[in-house]
């Protein structure tokens, strides 16, 4: 393997995303109860989730922009309750602040610093995390998100874009992610090398032809594998 750059998925690869999303939903619900009790009564947390799924089905072209889908959801919820000048921006601000209040996996920071000592690193996400708020932005050389570029993983174009931005051909980029389809199969079909970040240690769920080149249950193991890999590639003089 000739690895010249590494790209990382974010949600569920650098931090668990579900706790932050659940808390963000609760924050919006508390705010609605306080400021718009009619809307809170009409739209429970679960009802808003269902509405968002319905809106996602109606707006397939927005599948790459989860923030836009959440804003449309709030617009529709407010409209159904006859709220004039719906405070969609405020609802989104509350959701987004909590969504970015993530807790990194314990070894994320150390592992990233070890890996970026060898090769340039990039982010490649279908989510809408704000790495500046999370405090990791400075660690990466390039950032690619589906909301900004208009296509989402597993579309090969988003992998080609990160490869272009890194200035490294896809065959020499190692993509690391937790999602077998979005990350591993997508990156593989774009010609990249792949790591399945399999934190739970579960069985590979797709046909063998899509299996990742490497598989680790935490990022420390990946960083150690890369340390060894680069030590062997560049023997001491």
Question: 12 or 227: whose CB is closer to Mg ion?
Answer: 12
9 touching Mg ion, by CB under 5 A: yes
For residue 194, what are the CA distances in angstroms to 21, 74, 105, 207, 213?
27, 37, 20, 15, 5
Question: 115 or 124: whose CB is closer to Mg ion?
Answer: 124
The helix/strand/coil state of 120 is: coil
Minimum gap (Å) between residue 128 Cβ and Mg ion: 12
In this chain, which stretch among 37-45, 50-58, 82-90, 171-179 interacts with Mg ion, using CB under 5 A?
171-179
Question: 8 or 92: whose CB is closer to Mg ion?
Answer: 8
Residue 2 near residue 174, CB atoms below 8 Å: no
Question: 47 or 206: whose CB is closer to Mg ion?
Answer: 206
For residue 57, what are the CA distances in angstroms to 61, 65, 95, 237?
9, 13, 21, 59
Residue 217: both structure tokens together = 């249950």
Q: How far apart are CA 155 and CA 159, in angstroms?
A: 7
Binding mask 128-167 for Mg ion (x = CB under 5 A): ----------------------------------------
Residue 191: both structure tokens together = 């010609």
Minimum gap (Å) between residue 80 Cβ and Mg ion: 32
178 touching Mg ion, by CB under 5 A: yes
Minimum gap (Å) between residue 153 Cβ and Mg ion: 9
Q: Which residue of the chain is nearest Mg ion when measured via CB? A: 12
Question: 9 or 155: whose CB is closer to Mg ion?
Answer: 9
In this chain, which stretch among 23-31, 103-111, 146-154, 176-184 interacts with Mg ion, using CB under 5 A?
176-184
**What is the side-by-side strand order in the sheet with 121-125?**
142-145, 121-125, 5-8, 173-177, 193-197, 214-216
Beta bridge partners of 192: none
Binding site for Mg ion (CB under 5 A): 9, 11-12, 178
């Amino acid at each position: 393997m000739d690895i010249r750059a590494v790209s990382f998925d974010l949600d569920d690869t650098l931090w668990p995303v579900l706790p932050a999303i659940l808390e963000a939903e609760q924050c919006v619900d508390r705010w609605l109860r306080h400021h718009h009790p009619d809307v809170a009564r009409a739209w429970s947390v679960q009802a808003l989730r269902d509405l968002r799924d319905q809106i996602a089905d109606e707006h397939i072209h927005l599948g790459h922009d989860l923030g836009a889908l959440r804003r449309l959801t709030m617009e529709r919820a407010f409209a159904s309750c006859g709220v004039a000048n719906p405070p969609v921006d405020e609802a989104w601000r509350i959701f987004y602040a909590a969504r970015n209040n993530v807790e990194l996996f314990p070894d994320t920071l150390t592992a990233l610093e070890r890996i970026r000592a060898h090769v340039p690193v990039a982010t490649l996400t279908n989510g809408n995390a704000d790495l500046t708020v999370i405090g990791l932005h400075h660690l990466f050389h390039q950032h690619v998100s589906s909301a900004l570029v208009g296509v989402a993983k597993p579309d090969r174009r988003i992998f080609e874009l990160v490869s272009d931005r890194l200035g490294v051909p896809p065959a020499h980029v190692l993509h690391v992610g937790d999602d077998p389809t979005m990350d591993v199969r997508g990156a593989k079909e774009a010609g990249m090398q792949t790591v399945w970040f399999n934190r739970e240690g579960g069985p590979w769920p797709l046909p063998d032809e899509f299996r990742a080149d490497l598989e680790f249950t935490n990022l420390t193991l990946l960083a150690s594998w890369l340390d060894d890999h680069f030590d062997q590639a560049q023997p001491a003089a």
